[in-house]
Structure 1
Amino acid sequence: MDVCAGAGGLALGLEQAGFDPVLLLDRKPVACETLRLNRPAWKVLEMDLLEFVPDEHPETYDVDLLSAGLPRVKSSATVARAETEEELRLLEAAVLLTHSVQPRALLIENVPGLVDAPEFETVREFIRKELEHLGYRFRWFVLNAADFGVPQDRKQGVLVALKKQYFDSFRQPVPTVTEHVPVGRALGHSMAARGWPHADAWAARALSVAPTLVGGSDNRGGADLGPTGTKKAWARMGVNGGALADDVPGPDFDGASGLIKITDSQAALLQAFPTDWRFTGRKTARYRQIGHASPPPVGKALGMAIADALRA
């Protein structure tokens, strides 16, 4: 069962690891449309996690894994208090859902700071008490998506909890690549797709992984690739991080002396979505789904580690 499923990045990775979702839940219509478009057989429920009643959905009675790629919690010192409290309520709701669902394993993915930052100590203590009361043992750790073949520096805070009889068999995923994939290699083919003559030269310049993609808030602004510091990192790779393009450069696009924009489809490649995974909605809505997603290769690595523990 996957809650706050978004565009399906975590669920797709878990599917690749052998998990079969019985229910996916998200409150955003456009995300649910994306899930249904790509996996018509999945049962997708458009509902706020805070309003979900497990007893009304018998398919949740016996699941191996409850997963949650939750909206990113933020320090109360940096954002509006109401927004912070909403994200924390969703985190707590995902943990409390284990009371009803009683999964053999729980997977929560969020910001790295949730693992050890002092401002989240109260939240971690709440989670500890709830999980220990229910008979789970758990581990916090941080993974970088770049270590799993994702062409992006994307650190993720992870909580894995398992029923006590499975926990000693759990091993934290180890990197699957020895060399990070640079942006130029990830996007070079797509940049050349419409005959742009400078695609190879651009790719040779984009030699590092991408900065962390951020989807931004649904309440503010359009689609861009992140804050000022992130835009500067993109500029060093020849990319204008202030907006998205409608299409990749064509044969008449100069670009040799300026910055190019990437498309939302290319952003999906930077999240390591397969090329046949489609996103619904307008451009900004598509990009926000992509930027908020958990990269599928990380979900696959976590899923395989959890599956191995449950089989042991």
Structure 2
Amino acid sequence: MGDLTFVDVCSGAGGLALGLEQAGFEPRLLLDDDELAVTTLRTNRPQWNVLHTDLLDFDPAEHPVSHDVDLLAAGLPRVRSSATARRVDTGLEERLLEAAVYLVHAIRPRAVLIENVPELVHSDVHRRFRDFVRAELDHLGYAFSWFVMNAVDFGVPQSRKHGVLVALRRQWAGAFRPPVPTTREPMTVGAALGPSMAAHGWADAARWAAQADQPAPTLVGGSKNRGGADLGPTRAKKKWATMGVNAHTVGDRVPGPDFVWDPELGRDNMVKLTVEQAALLQGFPATWQIAGLKTARYRQVGHATPPPVGKALGRAVAQALSVG
């Protein structure tokens, strides 16, 4: 088939785009409205065509390079779910979902991939959006697959569920199969972060890693209207505490040789994860550089689609497009 091409909207830190690249896709255009996210993308992939713009303002007619691609991908800001019930609802996330679907009319990709919260797939709250997708895309000749996948099943050391829509033109839709898990035994936090915890000579890194013997709870990036970074809601913080991690903040550096790790003494004697370690828990390579100050960097990481999830989805789409 040659190189498969894609357009990625609301690209963020590039997790979905990186995964698609690993699956053999070549980006024609990426866009995001956050200046730091755009800097992250351009820093790690100078050759990528990255546009600093809001999806709601994007006009494909002004960017013909986006036309007639194999895949339109969108790892969009999360709509409201049980995990974000307290969030002020502005309706922006729903408008971005609809804007991504409207792009299909202009770009006419062979496949569409939208990734969001798992409730998007099955909740009555989001039935209107599912009906909207069918009304907009059915007459254009697309057939749909809605499914939920968990990043932990694809080698990511984190329990993180994704609601996914894959729509393909009907001549390829019958060949599409959702990704099959690639990992039998989940990667644990300790296995993923043990080497980095020991990097500055902390003697207790191995003992900590042995206690952090489970996947991480879902990392949450939070909103720009919130204060500093933390690792998630109360339930997640309690789970982190069982692993000896202070989840109420994000650290500036990994422990040094003099750090005393004793969770029974309270938060000050628990380890703090750094932004770089959070990125490892999202499945980013250690070489991926995130732009900005700590809170903004963590927010980009927490909002990202784990690259291994993007890679699995890309391979599944590529396999379907290779038929016929």
Task: With the length of structure 1 as denominator, give the TM-score of the two structures.
Answer: 0.98
Say if 2:154 is the partner of 1:148. Answer: yes
**Which amino acid in 1 is paired with 2:67?**
Y
1:20 partner SS: strand
Given candidates 118, 128, 138, the residue that maps to 1:122 is 128
Deviations 1:2-56 (A, max 9, x none): 0000000000000000000000000000000000000000000000000100000
Preserved contact between residue 118 and residue 164 of structure 2 (Cα < 8 Å) = yes
> d(CA) in 2 for partners of 1:300 and 1:37?
21
Aligned to 2:116: 110
Structure 1 position 297 matched with structure 2 position 304: no
Question: Does the 8 Å CA contact 1:191/1:248 hold for their aligned counterparts?
Answer: yes
What secondary structure sits across from 2:97 in the alignment? helix
2:106 aligned with 1:100, yes or no?
yes
Matched, 1:169 2:175: yes
> Within the alignment, does 1:25 sit opposite 2:47 as a pair?
no
**In structure 2, distance between residues paired with 1:130 and 1:266:** 41
The equivalent of 1:48 in structure 2 is 54
Match of 2:286 in 1: 275
Looking at structure 2, the residues matched to 256 and 88 of structure 1 have their Cα atoms a distance apart, in angstroms, of 44
Moved over 2 A (4+): 75-81
Q: Distance in 2 between matches of 1:121 and 1:61?
A: 29
Report 1:29-108 matches (<5 A): 29-75=35-81, 78-82=86-90, 85-108=91-114
Whether the 8 Å contact between 2:8 and 2:74 is mirrored in structure 1 is: yes
- TM-score, normalised to structure 2's length? 0.94
Residue in 2 aligned with 1:240?
246
Identity %: 63
1:219 paired to 2:225: yes
Question: For this pair of structures, how many residues does the alignment match?
Answer: 310
2:27 is paired with a residue of what secondary structure? coil
Distance 2:80 2:199 in 1: 39
Offset, 1:256: 3.3
- The structural deviation recorded for 1:81 is 3.1
Q: Which runs of 5+ in 1 are unaligned?
A: none
- 1:211·1:230 contact (CA, 8 Å) conserved in 2? yes
What is the DSSP-based 3-state SS (H/G/I as helix, E as strand, rest coil) of the residue aligned with 2:26? coil
* Corresponding residue SS for 2:256: coil
List gaps (5 residues or longer) in structure 2.
1-6, 264-268
